[in-house]
Structure 1
Amino acid sequence: MAPKNQARDNREARERLRLYQARQGLHERQRRRRVRDDVVGVVVLVLVAALATGSQLVFAGAQAPARSGASATGTPTPSASATAGNTGKVPSKGIADGRTWTGTLTLNDDVELGFELDGAKAPQAASVEIDLIRKQFYQGTTCHRLADRADFRFLQCGSANGDGTGDAGFEYGPLENVPSDGRYAKGTLAIARGSSPYSQSTQFFIVYGDTTLDGSSGGYTVVGRVTSGLDDLESEITSKGITSAGSDGSGEPEVATKITGATVREAD
């Protein structure tokens, strides 16, 4: 009987080995599938990011004060999917604490602008600007775009990449303190954005002459105002014009302009 028992034991051992190998093969296929799915997910995210950056490149170069998609005569209507909400780690809107904040913005070392941020009317935008200034995000960034057409006069700054693209890893909304008539008075400090009201990030624009912007897609958040230094800004930078104007009258400033300093503190 021993030989029969041995044969049976051998068959059972082979069956156990076959089942083990089958399980191992299944586990390996599942692992490969997870790796493949992870790779596909990363590729999709990269493609989405690339497309988003591309849209910023398309829109930011030659149209209204926007990171992507506003023109001198009209702003594209944002799609429902583009207005879902904040992305990334947005600074808390409680930073501004509903108060007025004051500070200075220095351009090219010798043009100093005094400003106020309105933490009551634009708490989220004011909080973002306070946080960015405290972290010295703006130090060395470029003011890449100047508009010098009649009734369309602003200097746009704060692009992470210096060319109208890039951000601090977040985008936010909603729009706050938007003029109902589309008029942005001289001295207005406002937040640039793309086609979505939730595409605000690091870019802002300084209105150095009364400006009218189309508000059909919501307009732009007025975060505060420039309180001093506009004369110097105009004499040293904006009056020198632009290198090559787009159809809307904006382009790169003739005088290369960088933010060389920024401070902020709670008003007394």
Structure 2
Amino acid sequence: MEAKQELRRGHEARRRRDNVIASAAVVVAIALAGVLQGTVFASNPTAADYEAVKAGLSNPSASPSASASPSAPATNAPGVPAASSASGKTFNGSLVLNGGTVGVQVDGKAAPQAAAVFKSLADQGTLKGRVCHRLTTSASASILQCGAEDATGKSDASYTWGPLENTPKDQKYPAGTIAVARTSNNAYGNGQQFFIAYKDSTFPDDSAGGYTIVGHVTSGLDVISKIGAAGVTPGGASADDGAPVTPVTIDSFTLN
């Protein structure tokens, strides 16, 4: 009898021990799931992240890529020229891409601050040697974005300015339009990057508004159209938005 009771007590002890082990395993599993949720899964891009990249004609990275608060300080960075230096003036010049010349005109009447910036960049040779890192080829948006420091879309974060000027009320950018790329949702997120529409394009306004149209192409739009026709390198933001198949470098940019 005592032997049976001792055997029963042994079974009960093992059962209690097994229950404790099982409970501990559940706790560990729940904790591990929490860790994964906070790290691995949280690191996946969200739909909002993708749309910010796709819509950002930022610095397209003048996203039109990273977003900034609409409440960012409404001031220009040191070194940004005054709008008065270009106010009321028209500048003509050329943008040479991979040896092909694109004639351009910059309008200081419609966009004096933007015109002052790009006249200054032209005079200083800042954009020479920089790249056109982004191409879009969709039916509604066909642009080449230029002025980045490298193929990642990097730009000078210390050179930002505003306000927005000459933004289209209908959100349409006709073929040949030259507009300023900027950080999403920031009217003072303009920088040194710009984009050229090589076909009629439409870009919805964000919370800050549209994109400053600073000028237009006067000749040689076919130089950019050929780059567009070559297409987008696979692996970009989408099949029709990414680095151009043909690497593009700014040989020179002049305005007179």
So what's the TM-score if we normalise by structure 2?
A: 0.73
Q: Secondary structure at the match of 2:121?
A: helix
Q: CA deviation at 1:66?
A: 1.5
Change (3 A) 1:101 1:264: same
Amino acid of the structure 2 residue aligned with 1:175: L
CA contact under 8 A between 1:62 and 1:251: conserved in structure 2? no
Report the equivalent of 2:126: 137
Report the equivalent of 2:109: 120
Q: Deviations over 1:171-228 (max 9, x none)?
A: 1000000000100000000000002110101000000011110113201000000111
Q: CA deviation at 1:262?
A: 1.4
CA contact under 8 A between 1:238 and 1:253: conserved in structure 2? yes
**1:98-177 matches, cutoff 5 A:** 98-109=88-99, 111-167=100-156, 169-177=158-166
**1:35-54 matches, cutoff 5 A:** none
Amino acid of the structure 2 residue aligned with 1:99: K
Name the Cα RMSD after superposition.
Answer: 2.5
Q: CA deviation at 1:248?
A: 7.3
Q: CA deviation at 1:91?
A: 1.2
Change (3 A) 1:89 1:192: same
* Cα distance in 1 for residues equivalent to 2:198 and 2:244: 14
Report the equivalent of 1:187: 176
Q: Deviations over 1:58-92 (max 9, x none)?
A: 988544322257579xx978432x24322232112
Report the equivalent of 1:209: 199
* Cα distance in 1 for residues equivalent to 2:192 and 2:98: 19
CA contact under 8 A between 1:160 and 1:202: conserved in structure 2? no
* Cα distance in 1 for residues equivalent to 2:131 and 2:67: 26
CA contact under 8 A between 2:96 and 2:252: conserved in structure 1? yes
Matched, 1:200 2:187: no
Q: Secondary structure at the match of 1:129?
A: helix
Percent identity of equivalent pairs: 39
Report the equivalent of 2:240: 249
So what's the TM-score if we normalise by structure 1?
A: 0.70
Matched, 1:234 2:225: yes
Matched, 1:66 2:55: no
* Cα distance in 2 for residues equivalent to 1:92 and 1:59: 33
Q: Secondary structure at the match of 2:196?
A: strand
* Cα distance in 2 for residues equivalent to 1:69 and 1:115: 21
Q: Deviations over 1:142-172 (max 9, x none)?
A: 0000000101100000012442122273210
Structure 1 unaligned blocks of 5 or more: 1-56
Amino acid of the structure 2 residue aligned with 1:149: S
Structure 2 unaligned blocks of 5 or more: 1-48
Change (3 A) 1:150 1:141: same
